[in-house]
Amino acid sequence: MNEILGKIALCVEFGKINKVSPYPPNMKDQDGADELTKQALDTGVRPDEILENALVPAMAKVGEKFTRKEIYVPQMLMAAKAMNSAMVHLKPFFQSGETKRKGKFIVGTVAGDLHDIGKNLVAMMIEGGGWEVIDLGVDVGTDKFLKALDENPGAVIGLSALLTTTMENMKQTVAAIKEKNKESKILVGGAPVTMEYCQKIGADFYSPDPQGAVNYLKTLVA
Ligand code: B1M
């Protein structure tokens, strides 16, 4: 792996946000994900390489360590902050894909769920794919999705869930949207979600990753 990508991955894995961040103590005064991402971009590393080869695998490691109880929520949170500090630099590149919008995409993390890194990635990539994105944020209840759909008729809706418990809320939201307008297209995703679950709850498409989401939206306007 490119040296700078390795350094960014380490910063995300260990929650080193930027140079002035005192955490973790053994990385004190070193550049963090913030500075290194900027340096990588300045030296010509592609934004998608930084995402795919540094940020995403680093967060996967964080998840595995959490599962093995080698780290706890505070460390996960620091890792998420470090990842977000890198994403600030990537966002403009993903958003500058095209100027003419292909349609509207309403996205949110379902009720009870505060995970937003994956949802933000999907939103960014879709925006980069030429869509206007209406990001409702995290812990989004069914009513908020319905209101957004009222305000943006014909928009495609994206639901993200990272917890097995909040997948149930995804099911309720899908049912309410389909009841209101069965033509609405609903895309679902998030680590515990599967194609089988997507079909079971009556959503239209499941994507395990942002690119699959972008590709699905392309098929809707082809
Ligand atoms: Co949480 N967390 N977390 N967490 N967290 C997980 C999800 C967990 C798998 C960790 C573990 O146990 N190994 C576990 C869930 C277990 C389960 O339900 N099966 C878990 C838990 C238990 C919890 C808490 C309950 C912990 C606690 O408090 N005891 C708590 C819940 C809070 C809540 O939501 N109510 C909690 C809290 C947190 C933090 C706040 C500390 C932080 C979130 C910060 C934030 O998002 N701003 C956090 C983090 C960082 C994680 C892990 C480590 C990383 C998640 C992440 O951002 N991954 C995660 C472990 C893991 O996933 N390996 C974990 C990187 C991201 C790029 O991937 O979000 O999967 P992901 O998105 C992917 C795809 O899924 C897909 O594209 C993305 C890019 O490839 N995708 C979509 C996502 N949404 C999509 C939508 C689409 C299409 C594709 O279409 C619309």
Q: Is the CB of 128 within 6 Å of ligand 1?
A: no
Task: Residue 17: count other Cβ atoms within 10 Å of its Cβ.
Answer: 22
Is pLDDT at 98 greater than 70 in this prediction?
A: no
The H or E element spanning position 34 is helix 33-42
In a shared domain, residues 214 and 141: yes
193 and 121 within one domain: yes
Same domain, 113 and 143: yes
210 close to ligand 1 (CB < 6 Angstrom):
yes
- 121: confidence class by pLDDT, cuts 50, 70, 90: confident
Closest residue (by CA) to atom 7 of ligand 1?
162
* Residue 218 in this model has a pLDDT that exceeds 70: yes
Both 194 and 116 in one domain: the answer is: yes
Atom number of ligand 1 nearest to Cα 164: 18
Last residue of a domain, one of 75, 95, 115: 95
130-143 in b/e form (b: 16+ CB < 10 A) is: bbebbbbebbbbbe
- At 39, which CATH number? 1.10.1240.10
Query: Which residue, judged by its Cα, is nearest atom 81 of ligand 1?
Result: 190
Cβ of 176 closer than 6 Å to ligand 1, yes or no, is no
* Residues 136 and 106: beta-carbon distance below 8 Å: yes
119 and 78 together in one domain = no
pTM (2 d.p.) = 0.81
147 and 86, same domain (yes or no): no
- Collapse the DSSP code of 210 into the 3-class scheme (helix H, G, I; strand E, B; otherwise coil) and give the result: helix
Residue 75 shares a structural domain with residue 121: no
147 shares a domain with 109: yes
Separation between Cα atoms, residue 172 and residue 166, nearest integer Å: 10
- Residue type (1 letter), 84: N
One domain, residues 216 and 112: yes
Residues paired with 158 in a beta bridge: 107, 187
CA of 43 to the centre of ligand 1 (A): 31
Can you give the CATH number for the domain in which 181 is found?
Answer: 3.40.50.280
What's the total number of domains in the chain? 2
Domain range enclosing 78 = 2-95
Within this chain, do residues 28 and 124 fall inside the same structural domain, yes or no? no
The per-residue pLDDT for range 13-63, each reduced to its tens digit, is 999 999 999 999 999 999 999 999 999 999 999 988 898 899 878 877 887
Tell me the mean pLDDT in the region 131-140: 94
